[in-house]
Structure 1
Amino acid sequence: MKSLRLSLLLAFFLLPWAGWGEYNSPLYLDKTTIYVGEHPLYVEVANTEESRQRGLMFRKKLGENEGMLFIFPSEDHLTFWMKNTLIPLSIGYFNKDKRMTDTFEMLPNQTKTLYHSSERVMYAVEANKGWFAKHNLGKFAVLKVESRFVGK
């Protein structure tokens, strides 16, 4: 009986840590499918300051057609970097009209290179390195996302 109580007590304290190594993030993020052009991408939605700051940091892997959609409350010149990001990524910036303005290939776990949008933008999409090029997506590609997702 004593060992059962100890096991239950340990489970109570350790279960919240289950899965911690994979994402290392206590944040719950909405997930949805977006489209860039006609190409679907299953994304987590980072639309709060906290979720945008965390981004894909500490992730060890990302599925082939998975990524993260960053939504900001208003248009601005954005800059991303790869601090504590362990996997190589591509980023696409989109203006308020959801038209792509820039794409960049980003190297993992470095802070010296900054990736600046050339225009004021409101959205950024991160996917596995080469995702935009693989699908022939360039300037003016259209982002399709449900209107219920807004930047906060």
Structure 2
Amino acid sequence: MTSLFARLLCLCLLLSGPAWSQDGPQLNLQRVGISAGMHLIQAQIAATPQERTVGLMFRKEMPTNEGMLFVFEQPSTQCFWMKNTLLPLTAAFLSDDGTIVNLVDMQPQSLDSHCSVRPVRYVLEMHQGWFDKRGIKAGMRLGGAPFGR
């Protein structure tokens, strides 16, 4: 009987989903290094629908050179909003090779929609002004494993 209970408990834990709450920050996501010229970004990867939905919601702080890379299955026009997001962010919409298609500043807790100007598969969110302060603009190319370099 104890063995059956243990198996049922394990099954329930497996089916309960990821180890983060939908109303709290995702802190245990995979990370990837991304280069932006001479700057190195440590980005958490949001690749599943659940991870992308929560994104950076409810975070009160984030280290300066960290961000979140949203990865989609295929290129499409991607639109983001800031519901329940407390930090001002800049979204870099990226083509498959890491080229910045466009950059958009987003205000905390706003329902305004911010979209890519053409289909993209990646979106990198960083602190608002991070790209601007480093002279990184649309047309520049980021490097790293997600972009094949």
TM range (shorter): 0.7 to 0.9
How far apart, in 1, do the equivalents of 2:27 and 2:50 lie? 9
How far apart, in 1, do the equivalents of 2:31 and 2:56 lie? 14
How far apart, in 2, do the equivalents of 1:114 and 1:26 lie? 22
How far apart, in 2, do the equivalents of 1:138 and 1:148 lie? 17
Aligned to 1:6: none
Pairwise CA distance, 1:147: 4.5
**1:77 is the counterpart of 2:77:** yes
Moved over 6 A (4+): none
TM norm structure 1: 0.77
Pairwise CA distance, 1:38: 3.0
Aligned to 1:137: 136
Aligned to 1:103: 103
Of all paired residues, the percent bearing the same amino acid is 34
Aligned to 2:61: 61
- SS of the equivalent of 1:51 reads helix
Report the RMSD for the aligned CA atoms in angstroms: 2.1
Count of aligned positions: 127
Inter-CA distance 124–147: structure 2 relative to 1 (3 Å threshold):
closer
Inter-CA distance 26–34: structure 2 relative to 1 (3 Å threshold):
closer
Aligned to 1:14: none
**CA deviation vs aligned residue, 1:76-129 (integer Å, no higher than 9, x gap):** 000000000001011100112221110011100111x11010011011000101
- SS of the equivalent of 2:135 reads coil
Unaligned runs of 5+ in 2: 1-19
Inter-CA distance 87–25: structure 2 relative to 1 (3 Å threshold):
closer
TM norm structure 2: 0.78
Pairwise CA distance, 1:29: 0.8
Higher RCO (CA 8 Å, separation ≥ 6 residues): 1
Inter-CA distance 122–61: structure 2 relative to 1 (3 Å threshold):
same
How far apart, in 1, do the equivalents of 2:147 and 2:101 lie? 23
Aligned to 1:34: 34
Does the CA contact (< 8 Å) of 1:94 and 1:124 recur in 2? yes
- SS of the equivalent of 2:52 reads helix
